[in-house]
Amino acid sequence: MQPEPDHELPASAGSTRGEPDPLLVMYSMPGHLIRRAKQKTTLAFAPITRRFNLTPIQYVVLKTISIRPGVDQAELGDIVGLDTSTTGQVAARLEQRSLIVRRPDGRRQRVEASAEGLALLEQLGPMLEDIQDEVVQPLTAKERQQLLRLLSKMLGVATLYYQPKPRGRRRAPRDPDAAG
């Protein structure tokens, strides 16, 4: 089922029935737009990737570890949205580069940023702020906040712009025949 657009889409050049242009329909699909937005972000990040030999996923893992020193590797995967295997692979690469330290804690694996990892993050900070601004450059400040709120809501993650409603116990349906 196609959502109703806020405005009429132009008819296809070859359409005689006033149907929307199939290309505009494709460009109106959320998955397509999200994929294109990710491409834009990846391209903006590419110069840093080349310069510091750090992928966007490695950066977010390293940044998360710096924010939560000693985080359990499984919890780290939950925070950044990676499965356990991928989290382990990323952590292993960061450990090989001496950017993090992993230490066993019973059945868990705790991770911390090394001094080298923290120094790298310090160096990257201003550059990444510029990239974030570049990615959303066409948007007004209000639109940027709205975009972040909507993306956060879509992903169900708490941010400065969105707080998911707590999932409490469901109340039992009220019995209409009960006195009260």
DSSP 8-class letter at 110: E
What is the per-residue DSSP string for 135-149? HTTTS-HHHHHHHHH
Q: How many CA atoms lie within 13 A of 63 on its CB side?
A: 15
| CA 78-60-103 angle, 5° bins | 65
The pLDDT score that the predictor gives to residue 111 is 96
The pLDDT score that the predictor gives to residue 161 is 86
Render each residue's pLDDT in the chain as its tens digit; 180 residues.
454 455 454 555 545 577 888 888 888 999 999 999 999 999 999 998 889 999 989 999 999 999 999 999 999 999 999 999 999 999 999 999 999 999 999 988 899 999 999 999 999 999 999 999 999 999 999 999 999 999 999 988 888 888 888 876 655 555 555 554
Q: Provide the H-helix boundaries in 53-140.
A: 56-67, 73-80, 84-96, 115-135
* Residues contacting 48, CB < 8 A, separation 6+: 54, 124, 127, 128, 131
Q: How far apart are CA 91 and CA 84, in angstroms?
A: 10
The pLDDT score that the predictor gives to residue 14 is 45
